[in-house]
Amino acid sequence: MSAAEALEVARAAGIRVEIDGDDLVLEAPTAPPPGVLYLLSRYKADIVTLLRLGRPGLASLIRRAGGHRRVRRRAAARTS
C-alpha cells in the first residue's frame, strides 16, 4: 500500500481529503470507516507531501466525492 493507494481507498469510501497545515481534513457524508482512518493515519506524512506537491491526477481523485458535509478529523501522526 502507498499513500496514493490510501487516498484512492478513501475516495472509494466517499471521503474527500484535504490538508490544513500538517493536518488532514476529511469530508464525508458519514463517519469514515475505522480501516480507512487507519490507512490515512499510517500514510499521513506521505499523503500531506503528495497533496502539497499537487501530484497530477490526485486532485481529481480527491474531488470526485464532492457535496458532502464536512467532518473534521485530525489523523494521528505516523509512529513507525
Beta strands in 1-80 (DSSP E): 16-20, 23-27, 70-71
Whether residue 7 contacts residue 61, with contact meaning beta carbons closer than 8 Å, is answered with yes
Does residue 43 sit in helix, strand or coil? coil
Question: Which pLDDT score, from 0 to 100, does residue 69 have?
Answer: 40
| Max CA distance (Å), the chain | 34
Whether residue 57 contacts residue 23, with contact meaning beta carbons closer than 8 Å, is answered with no
pTM above 0.85, yes or no: no
Average pLDDT of the chain to the nearest whole number: 78
Average pLDDT over residues 15-31: 91
